[in-house]
Structure 1
Amino acid sequence: MSNSPDVLFLVLDSLRMDRVSTYDHDRETTPALSTLSTYATTYENAFAPAPWTLPSHASMFTGTFPSEHGVTNGFSDDMCRLSPSRSTLADVLSEDGYRTAGFSNNPWVGQLSGLDRGFDEFVEWDLEISSEGDDSVHTSREELYSRCHSLLGKGARQPVFALKRRFFTDSLVDRTKRWIERGIDSAEPTFTFVNLMEAHSPYFPPKQAFEELGLEVPGPLEPRVLNTKLLAYVMGKTDLDPDTRRRIMEYYDASTRYQDRKVEEILSLLQREGVFDDTLVVVASDHGKTLGDYPRDEHPPHYLRDINLNVPLWIKRPGQREGETLEDMFELASLFDVVRDGNPPSGRYTRDVAIAEDFVPHAGRTTPDEVVRWRVAADEGNKYVRNDTGAEFLFDRSSDTLLRSPDPERCDVAAETLSERVRQFGRDDGAEHGGDDESNAPGREIDSGVEAQLKDLGYM
């Protein structure tokens, strides 16, 4: 088996483990991923390095944790971008002779954060072609979309029904399939990265997805009304009443079902072309999503619940034909090594304890005066949480319950384990906004169109 296999790296943004049928959700939301699990390794205890998109992707792309790579927060006046001195996965694979392409549904994942670096081809959330190495890859209509990307971005905002995210998702998946098809006979291996975010609010799933799940099909006005309520909740302006939350979860499931069909299109293409067996396939969520599950003002922050950190993950190694399930802890930052190595044994990068970090607040229009850093150390049974002020907490992971009177000895052991891992970090300077000026790229101002989209997604 080649040490440089073709790689498909698919991130399903904000996909919660408890809403995935492969992980025993009672609705059949992900039949394509269930089929993949019969070939792949399914990880029960995969942990995101951070509970939101920007730092989590930066960790997967660099193999480091947020306080190491410095991409911890996003603010309109002082954006965090990946340091030019830190190599990305696409950089490394390009140097190894790979042809690379990225297709991103999320504004954070691309030129805004510097995560498009190293890609021969990169298509942004609003269909802008920000990197183009081969003129034959994109059609004339797609080139037109790229020139008009600012108008398309404005059309993606919530009040407009004529142009919603499915338009962008369909386009990105079509381009992904075309890229894969054109690389089939290439002498060079290919690295294909895709971010899809149908599981991220707002939710506008097609009627067919509701029908497939046996759910009530919404009328023409309900999606707009429901998503307005959801955005108000995400921005901390109101809570979700039980009926509204129940309906939102139905929209979430329907969106996940639609997204699963897009995943099936990509995986089926690999099967039809006879390259699935030899391809390294990685499918992961970058984080989960809290939708009224816990009080927004709880301490420690609800972002650090397992529903946000314990994420779905499947890895199908080249030549792997039988599925397996691993219970050991796995850190998504290790995906950098998995992809770089090409065909590592399934348990090589599992750990006894997984680490995560969160810098609060995450994003906003202006830089806050203070950012609080939280760190997590989780094993299969417990999750230890502390912040830089010295507050520490212990959760029982079987029920995700905060232990009010934790065993002091158990806390001491967890604290030392976490401290030892942090001491091994390549860089830990406590940077709040990406580190010192010498090691991090200068901030990039967010233009009004992108900022508007980030607001509609609940980031600002």
Structure 2
Amino acid sequence: MTDKTEKPDIVVIMTDQQRYDTINALGAHHVDTPNLDRLVNRGVNFSQCHVTAPSCVPCRASLFTGYYPHSNGVHANGQAWNKTWVSLLQESGYQTVNIGKMHTIPYDAPAGFDERYIVENKDRFLEGRYFFDEWDKALASHGLKKQQREEYRKRDDYRECLGAFPWELPEELHSDVFVGRMARWWLSSKPVEKPLFMVVGFPGPHPPYDPTPEYIERYMDRDIPLPEVSEEDLANLPPVFTEKRLHDVEVDHDSVAWSLNPTREQLHRMRAYYCANVEMIDREVGQILDTLEERGRLDNTIIVFASDHGDCLGDHGLSQKWAPYDEVTRVPLIISAPGRFTEGRDVDQLVQLFDLGPTILEWAGLTPDPSFEAESLNPALEEKAFDGRTHVFCEQGGDVNLTGAEYLTMVRSTTHKLVHFKGLSCGQLFDLVNDPGEKRNLWDKPDAAPKKQELLDVIREWLIDTSVKTRAARRRAVDTGPMEHRGMQVT
């Protein structure tokens, strides 16, 4: 059994834009993920974990600060954030290391880490186009440059590919392989004389969907679930998401040139490439676990696997993220530490991804700031009374991809979901029990008016409660910068 008085090593493995339904052991039998299955079978799976923002930067800022976007001020991609609770681990004696994607703005902010080996988005065109990360340097050292929008646009079939392209450079220089190998290099060669906190950020399966040919071959003939979207479904989209569909056809974000009417063959190819990229990452995860075991550190290591949000992949007629359907907001969250937490369990209460913050701090013997809006998951991990959240929330400010709304707010219970668009009369309301696919919008249905008002009231009370809860942190921010963390005590 693990000595729970000894500070554990903590390794957080995060992918980018990975849906919940991509892990074989969690029911996705069309994807081969033996190493993630290993974590599921030896860990605790949170089957209803939802993100606080449906895009990269605000979600990660929320996760690593412990506050909702409306509290920490990071509402959309490209907005600055760099102070995190990781600095508290650093101050308490942890060796803090980030390898891969973290998505701070600026990209190279210290963010509480002793060491950062930064690998950012695969395709950076509007934001950070000239930032030269570790992966760029590795490619340049081989006389190569990464495959990205400027190169893909030269293909005759560019607009038919929906962002799915084979990786044609050496396999070891693929971004996900590169990050995995760098993590293993660090773990196998660096002396660790203190407890370790490591964040390994894989850039995939975020587009462009670019697995190597070997993995593509495994999925092109495989039966993969495809989106079923009717003309009625498209007609019932709120204007905000209808505008997003048109925008994503006109502007090829992340090398994805979207189509208003993709063929089944196009959708299958895109999803096959996406699944292949997931399996590539799974292999790297397994090799990281093997390296920890070889170094004799695995027995006292808590492994966290999660993703920052999902991907519509054509569901609801939409590309990528920003729209808070469950395909985007529900993400994998697996915590594995055999001997510390009973393995092979499933927790089905509602939780939020940023709840990892106070959970991790408690593992390190720290008391989270009482102003945190994130809530510890340790009662669930320790099999104590745990009700989870009655509602989860998700927020997104308008940005280059969400042009039809200044702000959206989602609230979700176990039975219903409501999406509110600031300043607009349209919205979304779904009965998740009778309509788990979120296809029948009840927003304007008279018989759903009581439920609509109930959830609007929940949003109002939540905003009031969080304003009161975070007032001390916001006062500190006036003197110290956005959401500086203070007052944490070592227990």
TM-score by length of 1: 0.75
Deviation at 1:400, TM superposition (A): 2.2
Is this contact kept in 2: 1:205–1:255, CA < 8 A? Answer: yes
User: Are 2:251 and 2:257, in contact at CA under 8 Å, matched by a contact in 1?
Assistant: no
1:28 aligned residue: 31
2: CA distance, partners of 1:376 / 1:423: 16
Q: Could you say which residue in structure 1 is the equivalent of 2:238?
A: none
Cα 1:212–1:271 shift into 2, 3 Å: farther
2:75–2:397 Cα contact (<8 Å) kept: yes
Matched, 1:381 2:415: yes
Alignment of structure 1 residues 437-448 onto 2, 5 Å: none
1:395 and 2:430 correspond: yes
- CA separation of 1:28/1:242 partners in 2, compared to 1, >3 Å: closer, same or farther? closer
- State the 1:111 CA deviation: 5.3
Task: Decide whether the 8 Å contact of 1:331 with 1:350 is kept in 2.
Answer: no
Deviations 1:399-439 (A, max 9, x none): 3233332522222222222222222325899xxxxx99995
Contact 1:50 1:66 in 2 (8 A): yes
Q: Using a 3 Å threshold, how does the CA distance of structure 1 residues 371 and 436 change in structure 2: closer, same or farther?
A: farther
Q: Distance in 1 between matches of 2:181 and 2:145?
A: 22
**Which secondary structure does the structure 1 equivalent of 2:267 belong to?**
helix
Amino acid at match of 1:37: V
Paired AA for residue 81 in structure 1: A
Aligned letter for 2:395?
E
The answer on 1:157 being equivalent to 2:148 is yes
Unaligned runs of at least 5 residues, structure 2: 122-132, 153-167, 223-249, 365-377, 472-476, 484-491
- Aligned pair in 2 of structure 1 residues 116, 20: CA closer, same or farther (>3 Å)? farther
- AA aligned to 1:197 is P
Secondary structure of the residue aligned to 1:403 is coil
Deviations 1:377-419 (A, max 9, x none): 1122211211222644311232323333252222222222222
Moved more, 269-278 or 253-262: 269-278
Whole-Å Cα distance in 2 between the matches of residues 151 and 308 of structure 1? 36
What is the distance in 2 between the residues matched to 1:3 and 1:45?
A: 30
* Structure 2 match to 1:340: 361
Root mean square deviation of aligned Cα: 3.7
How many Å separate the matches in 1 of 2:409 and 2:361?
27
Q: Which amino acid aligns with 1:356?
A: C
Aligned residues: 394
Structure-2 separation of matches of 1:71 and 1:152 = 37
State the percentage of identical aligned residues: 21
SS of the residue 1:198 aligns to: strand
Q: 1:344-383: per-residue Cα shift (whole Å, max 9, x none)?
A: 233559312111111123569xxx8x96111111122211
Relative contact order (alpha carbons < 8 A, sep ≥ 6): 1 or 2 greater?
Answer: 1
Out of 76, 87, 93, the residue aligned to residue 91 of structure 1 is 87
Match of 2:209 in 1: 203
Aligned to 1:288: 310
> Among 244, 264, 287, which residue is 2:286 paired with?
264
Query: Distance between the aligned counterparts of 2:51 and 2:144, measured in 1?
Result: 29
Specify the code of the residue in structure 2 equivalent to 1:7.
I
Q: Structure 1 residues 38 and 125 mapped into 2: Cα distance closer, same or farther (>3 Å)?
A: same
Partner in structure 2 of residue 419 of structure 1: 460
Unaligned runs of 5+ in 1: 128-141, 217-227, 430-434, 442-460
Question: 1:8 corresponds to which residue?
Answer: 11
**Taking structure 1 as reference, are residues 205 and 71 closer, same or farther at Cα in structure 2, changes over 3 Å only?**
same
1:22-53 deviation line (CA, Å, top 9, x unaligned):
32113133221111111111111100111111
Shift of 1:312: 1.1
Determine the structure 2 residue equivalent to 1:225.
none
Instruction: Name the CA shift for 1:200/1:323 in 2 (closer, same or farther; >3 Å).
Output: same
1:19 — aligned with what? 22
Deviations 1:325-346, CA, capped at 9 Å, x for gaps: 0110010111111111118233
Q: Which one-letter code corresponds to 2:212 in the other structure? A: P
Q: Would the aligned equivalents of 1:47 and 1:311 in 2 still touch at CA under 8 Å?
A: yes
Q: Measured at CA, do residues 54 and 407 of structure 1 come closer, stay the same or move farther in structure 2, by a change above 3 Å? A: same
Report whether the alignment pairs 1:310 with 2:330. Answer: yes
Q: TM-score, normalised by structure 2?
A: 0.70
Residue in structure 2 matched with residue 241 of structure 1 by the alignment: 263
Q: Secondary structure at the match of 2:57?
A: helix
Q: Using the TM superposition, give the Cα deviation of residue 271 of structure 1 relative to its aligned residue in structure 2, in angstroms.
A: 2.8
Cα deviation digits, residues 237-289 of structure 1 (max 9, x gap): 65422210111111111111111101111122223333323212111110001
Counterpart residue number, 2:162: none
Structure 2 counterpart of 1:361: 399
Partners of 1:408 and 1:144 in 2: CA distance? 52
